[in-house]
Amino acid sequence: MSFLDTIRIALRALLKNKMRAVLTIIGVVIGIAAVTTIVSIGQGASQLVSGEFEALGTNVILVFPGQTRRGGVTQSGAPTLTAADSDAISRDCPAVLASSPIVGTGGQIIYGNENWNPKEMQGVGEDFLTVRNWELEAGGFFSKDDIEANGKVCVIGQTLIPKLFRTVNPLDETVRVNNVPFRVIGILKKKGANMVGDDQDDVVLMPHTTVRKRINGSPLDTVHAIMVSARSTDQMGKATKQIQALMYERHEVGPTDEADFSVQDTTEIAATLGIITGTLTLMLSAIAGISLLVGGVGIMNIMLVSVTERTREIGIRMAIGARGKDILRQFLIESVVLSCIGGAIGLALGTATSMAATVLINAYKPGTDWPMVVSIPAAFVAMGFAAAVGVFFGYYPARRASKLDPIDALRYE
């Protein structure tokens, strides 16, 4: 008997009991759909994380302040980074492309009768756009002279334009930030929302000296963080080591002292987040895969019932010349076909569920732009796994059918 004849007989047998076949594959459908959905959402999360770090800036390293400690004793809880540290990093670290101090603030920005509370109001250095890999839509950015003079100039994000200016061109207009007048000299290009849905375009950038002295009213030269960009991805490690060595020297950190700063490489943070999302995806997929095993057990049970019901048919086929391997192949094909049909339906259902989940996530957090990922390799793996379930759980019933004695089978009532 040819292979195609065996497939035809197997399909005919399945079509005789459509409801039984449908109920049999439900477990496989649910298992494949769950795994497909989880893998798709997990890969979407990984892409989103990667995109967020690219949006943060190419090859970015962050330096954060800590507490001053000497000999294990805390000396001060005040911020320990200064704008001079940022200048030194740019000047003395060959692997560094640019750096910018960051001074955060908050409050209201007013234009005419309109007012708005931006999500981010930051004081930064003249190289901030280089570090963040951000471009201007219009106008210019403040210069070193503006920073040294505590210049009252600002650059705004796209979100502020409709909120404050409506149809007016913002360039050269005067706004008030916490009642301090600022002239708008530039407009940033659109960045979109970050991974948690926060609008990155809802931002006002000002010289860090202006924010520190005129808005925060601080007489100190301290900054909240330093953002650094390495010259290339290959030089990230070298830049990090150079920054650490320079800061240890500048802050006079001794062998027994705890550093009053920390240096974080965003590629390491991204890699860590990637490992976390990958591990969670794998764990959830494994849990969802349990339903595949349940579906496989269901297939085995139904195939055993089918063997019992078709004992006389098996006996007749053997009596007219069918060999044991023909019977084995027929029942094995029935099992694999059942499993693969369930896998195909599950794959389609999982893809549809992933699309729906992506739409809901983006609707819940407007601007998040959570990507919809359909992995072709993952689809092939899912179908292969479905076929493997059919082979594994269908082999015992098929072998049992092939070992029936033709005479006993013909006597079966």
Evaluate whether residue 86 is within a structural domain: yes
User: How many structural domains is the chain composed of?
Assistant: 2
Question: Tens digit of pLDDT for each residue in 105-146?
Answer: 999 999 999 999 999 999 999 999 999 889 999 999 999 999
Question: Tens digit of pLDDT for each residue in 154-209?
Answer: 999 999 999 999 889 999 999 999 889 999 999 999 987 765 667 889 999 999 99
Question: Tens digit of pLDDT for each residue in 288-342?
Answer: 778 778 888 888 888 888 888 777 877 887 888 777 787 888 888 888 888 888 8
Evaluate whether residue 164 is within a structural domain: yes
* 77 band by pLDDT with thresholds 50, 70 and 90: very low
Evaluate whether residue 60 is within a structural domain: no
Evaluate whether residue 109 is within a structural domain: yes
Question: Can you tell me the distance from the alpha carbon of 233 to that of 352, in angstroms, rounded to the nearest whole number?
Answer: 37
Question: Residue 304 carries which side chain, given as an amino acid letter?
Answer: L
Same-domain status, 387 and 296: yes
Evaluate whether residue 317 is within a structural domain: yes
Provide the whole-model pTM: 0.61
Q: How many CB atoms lie within 10 A of CB 283?
A: 11
Q: Is 114 exposed, middle or buried (0-12, 13-18, 19+ CB in 10 A)?
A: middle
**Three-class secondary structure assignment of 61-73:** EEEEECCEEECCE
Question: Can you tell me the distance from the alpha carbon of 27 to that of 6, in angstroms, rounded to the nearest whole number?
Answer: 25
Same-domain status, 153 and 252: yes
Same-domain status, 246 and 106: yes
Question: Can you tell me the distance from the alpha carbon of 137 to that of 366, in angstroms, rounded to the nearest whole number?
Answer: 23
Average confidence score pLDDT of the chain: 83
Q: Among residues 259, 280, 307, which one ends one of the domains? A: 259
Long-range contacts of 171-174 (CB under 8 A, 24+ apart): 171/138, 171/139, 173/111, 174/111
Q: Which domain holds residue 30?
A: 3-54+271-411
Q: Which of 55-59, 223-227, 336-340 has the lowest mean pLDDT?
A: 55-59
Question: Tens digit of pLDDT for each residue in 165-177?
Answer: 988 999 999 999 9
CB 229 within 8 A of CB 98: yes
